[in-house]
Amino acid sequence: MMKHHAYFLVLAIGLLLLSATILLSLVSGAVNTDLWQTLTALYGKGDSSTVFIMQQLRLPRTLLGVFIGAILGCCGAVLQGLFRNPLADPGIIGVSAGAALGAAVAIVLLPQGILLWNKLSLLSLFSFIGGLLATLFVYHIGKTHYGTRMTLILLSGIAIGALAFAFLGLLQFIADDQALRELTTWQLGSLAHGNCNTVILCAVTAFLLLTQFMRQASALNALLLGDLEARHLGVSVEKIKRSCIILTALGIGIVVSVSGMIGFIGLIVPHIARTLLGPNHKTLIPACALIGAILLLSADILARKLAAPAEIPIGILTALLGAPFFITLLVKNKGRL
């Protein structure tokens, strides 16, 4: 009963923090607005320029940050449970790099007429394929007769990341000026591309992933005991792993296609949630979605405020936050790697 109380308390506090972060995101930017101006502009009232800024720029960007943060948090929690290691992360094991390469292929190599006609879906498709291939490669290398070896996964993730960035460099070399600008944006990460279509896409993806991952929460809990123990408990281990890999690649692929490469959110968030609630995926996954949304939106606010009126790419801030955290985890877990 105490665990349930702790879970609902964390969710309640998290929802309050998320609401406050959303309001702060809406009032933050190059143009200063107070809370009353913001709320009235969201309803289409007040100065026309303020209404445009709120409805067309800040609201879509804020919602995009919420949904992308939720996706990254959920995917990070599932990957760490799947690989049974706290160091697993979409960026570290090469999934984000593969997805970014897929998006870069679409930007540079597809005919501009086709890309402009259906840009969002094509980028998402190519990002998904790139992320899926990277995930399958890393998982195949890390799988042994004795289970999944995290050392092999990390090393293969480094290799796939280096290979992806090599091809990204080649694509940058042959890209024209417009494609080069888009590639630079994708590599650094940004939430500035928020619009109705991207918000709907990420909202549907976040709902789909959260629903499917919650259905597999019990199986993920069993996998924490090991593959053999999970099979004895009646879990179809390979089916669950295959499903989680595909869903994770789908989520990361869509995130990369919309916002570019945003690292370390999927690494940090599950650790925060486990500290608060423990390893049970039934409570861990929704908590990670909530914390991920708060953390990414907070990083985006800092990205807009620290160098205003200019904007720091959000991928730089998440890397500055996440890299020391990752080094700390390596030190703590070096005896288990």
The confidence band for 19, taking pLDDT boundaries of 50, 70 and 90, is very high
Q: Residue 227: give the domain boundaries.
A: 62-333
Query: What confidence score (pLDDT) does residue 116 get?
Result: 46
Nearest by Cα to 289 from 78, 8, 24, 23: 78
* Residue 280, number of CB atoms within 10 A of its CB: 17
Position 114 in a domain:
yes
Residues 230-254 have a mean pLDDT of 86
Q: Is residue 66 part of a domain?
A: yes
> Measuring CA to CA, how many Å separate 8 from each of 12, 102, 295?
6, 40, 19
Dihedrals phi, psi of 264, to nearest 5 degrees: 75, -10
Please determine, for residue 95, whether its predicted confidence score (pLDDT) is greater than 80: yes
Number of domains composing the chain: 1
Asked whether residue 287 carries a pLDDT value surpassing 60, the answer given is: yes
Q: Is residue 229 part of a domain?
A: yes
The answer to whether residue 234 is domain-embedded is yes
pLDDT at 148: 65
Q: What is the pLDDT of residues 114-162, one digit of tens each?
A: 454 455 567 778 888 888 888 888 888 877 776 666 678 778 888 888 8
Tens-digit pLDDT profile for residues 192-230 = 877 888 899 899 999 999 999 999 999 999 988 888 888
Q: How far apart are CA 82 and CA 105, in angstroms?
A: 29
Q: Which residue type sits at 284?
A: L
pTM of the full structure: 0.88
- Does 68 score more than 50 pLDDT? yes
Mean pLDDT rounded to a whole number for the chain: 84
Does 25 map to a domain? no
**45 CB-contact burial (10 Å; exposed 0-12 / middle 13-18 / buried 19+):** exposed
Q: Does residue 13 lie in a domain region?
A: no
Residue 57 lies in a domain: no
User: Which tokens go with 174?
Assistant: 């042959």
Identify the band that residue 2 occupies on the pLDDT scale cut at 50, 70 and 90. very low
Do 123 and 131 form a contact (C-beta atoms < 8 A)?
no
Q: Report if residue 52 sits inside a domain.
A: no
What is the CATH classification number for the domain harbouring 259?
A: 1.10.3470.10
Six token digits for residue 6: 């702790």
Number of H helices, E strands in the chain: 16, 2
